[in-house]
């Protein structure tokens, strides 16, 4: 395997006609706020701050968070880093999300306004570059989101007010997401865990979004970690304990990786990055080492023979979280 050049220029792509340009690799911060119930480990405050300082050095320019990641701890840590940095750096892109009230599960017009106001205060900024409506599949009443003068109307009003440059939809369940994409003029979308070497459930939706000039952030290309750490070391898929039967497709990918001396993480990441429909591939980071590893994987030279073989392997088109016992925060 050729040694990667970490100083290599990173391509940028535009988000629709918003003027926002994002690097083809971007970093997410759900785990940076420390979510042990989801990821299985803690992230201490000092490590989080060191990671954020490294992010500010580039070359990746997009940082994505959410009002409710780690019950607000992710935004809090980012806000501290922004303040210590003297503000959000020029030409970097800050993305956060409107979230439901975690006690009542309500996400309506009022909660949408509360969420952005809380985010701006916590992040120590006057505006964000990208603002998503997050996880409507878990709200108390989705009609509060979609009705006239509901949460989505308020999201677009926030854009009109200049508090964000781009608005989007971020969620998992495609049976709910796809119809919403067809009914609203979003600039951008995030879907996670559904377009990986193991799963292609989002394929049709991505083709539709691309045809409508909706920018696509493909999140979680490592299927919760198994495609980064390998099925021998990590026996979970999409945050769920996995049986040997469920791990079998990952083991087949691992065999092809070993045959061509390609790191599994590099293959998983570049599978997403090489798709021309995808604007940016969003990977969670929790340390300086995870940033460096993602950069190395993004710049690894992978032979075409590898792709010819690995893309012939079977994959799922079913919801990878259908059996997940979801625990927020």
The DSSP annotation for 82-136 comes to HHHTTSSPTT-EEEEEE---TTT---SHHHHHHHHHHHHHHHT-S-EEEEEEE-G
More confident residue, 62 or 322: 62
More confident residue, 165 or 329: 165
Distance CA 111, CA 67 (A): 12
Distance CA 237, CA 289 (A): 22
User: What is the C-alpha radius of gyration for the chain, rounded to an integer number of angstroms?
Assistant: 19
Residue 3 has pLDDT above 50, yes or no: no
Structure-block tokens of residue 231: 């099925």
> Does the structural domain 19-229+266-298 have CATH classification 3.90.1170.40?
no
Structure-block tokens of residue 18: 């918003």
Distances (CA, A) of 212 to 150, 182, 188: 24, 9, 10
Residue 9 has pLDDT above 90, yes or no: no
Residue 2 has pLDDT above 90, yes or no: no
Domain map (residue ranges) of the chain: 19-229+266-298
What pLDDT is attached to residue 33? 77
Residue 218 has pLDDT above 60, yes or no: yes
Each residue of 256-265: pLDDT tens digit? 999 999 999 9
Distance CA 36, CA 18 (A): 36
Distance CA 242, CA 223 (A): 12
Mean pLDDT computed over 247-273:
98
Mean pLDDT computed over 289-303:
97
Q: Residue 168: which H helix or E strand, with range?
A: strand 164-171
Calculate what percentage of the chain has a pLDDT beyond 70: 94
What pLDDT is attached to residue 327? 67
Task: Report the mean per-residue pLDDT for the chain.
Answer: 94
pTM of the model: 0.94
Measured at the CA of 167, the angle between CA 210 and CA 26, to 5 degrees, comes to 70
For residue 129, which of 36, 22, 13 has the smallest C-alpha distance? Answer: 22
Which positions ≥6 away from 192 have C-beta within 8 Å?
172, 218, 219, 220, 282
CB 38 within 8 A of CB 172: no
Each residue of 24-76: pLDDT tens digit? 999 999 888 766 665 666 888 999 999 999 999 999 999 999 999 988 999 99
Could you give phi then psi for residue 82, rounded to 5 degrees?
Answer: -65, -45
Each residue of 91-106: pLDDT tens digit? 999 999 999 999 999 9
What pLDDT is attached to residue 8? 53
Residue 248 has pLDDT above 90, yes or no: yes
Distance CA 186, CA 291 (A): 29
Residue 1 has pLDDT above 80, yes or no: no
CB 120 within 8 A of CB 128: yes
Mean pLDDT computed over 267-293:
97
Each residue of 152-193: pLDDT tens digit? 999 999 999 999 999 999 999 999 999 999 999 999 999 999
Residue with tokens 């049709």: 204
């Amino acid at each position: 395997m050729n040694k990667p050049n970490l100083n290599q220029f990173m391509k940028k792509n535009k988000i629709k006609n918003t003027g926002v340009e994002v690097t083809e690799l971007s970093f997410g911060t759900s785990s940076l706020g420390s979510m042990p119930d989801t990821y299985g480990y803690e992230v201490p405050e000092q490590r989080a701050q060191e990671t954020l300082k490294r992010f500010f050095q580039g070359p990746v320019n997009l940082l994505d968070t959410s009002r409710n990641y780690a019950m607000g701890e992710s935004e809090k840590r980012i806000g501290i880093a922004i303040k210590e940095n003297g503000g959000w750096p020029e030409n970097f892109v800050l993305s956060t999300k409107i979230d439901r009230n975690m006690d009542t599960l309500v996400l309506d017009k009022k909660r949408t306004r509360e969420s952005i106001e809380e985010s701006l205060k916590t992040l120590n900024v006057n505006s964000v570059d990208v603002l998503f409506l997050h996880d409507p599949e878990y709200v108390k009443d989705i009609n509060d989101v979609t009705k006239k003068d509901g949460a989505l109307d308020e999201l677009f009003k926030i854009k009109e007010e200049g508090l964000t440059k781009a608005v989007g939809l971020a969620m998992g369940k495609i049976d709910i997401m796809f119809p919403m994409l067809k009914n609203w003029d979003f600039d951008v979308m995030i879907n996670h865990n559904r377009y990986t070497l193991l799963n292609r459930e989002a394929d049709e939706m991505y083709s539709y979004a691309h045809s409508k000039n909706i920018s696509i952030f493909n999140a979680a290309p490592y299927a919760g970690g198994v495609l980064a750490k390998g099925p021998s070391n990590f026996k979970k898929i999409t945050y769920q304990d996995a049986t040997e039967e469920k791990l079998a497709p990952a083991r087949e990918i691992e065999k092809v990786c070993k045959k061509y001396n390609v790191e599994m993480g590099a293959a998983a990441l570049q599978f997403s990055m090489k798709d021309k429909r995808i604007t940016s591939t969003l990977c969670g980071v929790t340390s300086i080492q995870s940033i460096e590893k993602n950069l190395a994987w993004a710049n690894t030279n992978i032979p075409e023979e590898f792709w010819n073989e690995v893309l012939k392997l079977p994959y799922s088109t079913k919801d990878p979280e259908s059996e997940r016992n979801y625990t927020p925060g």
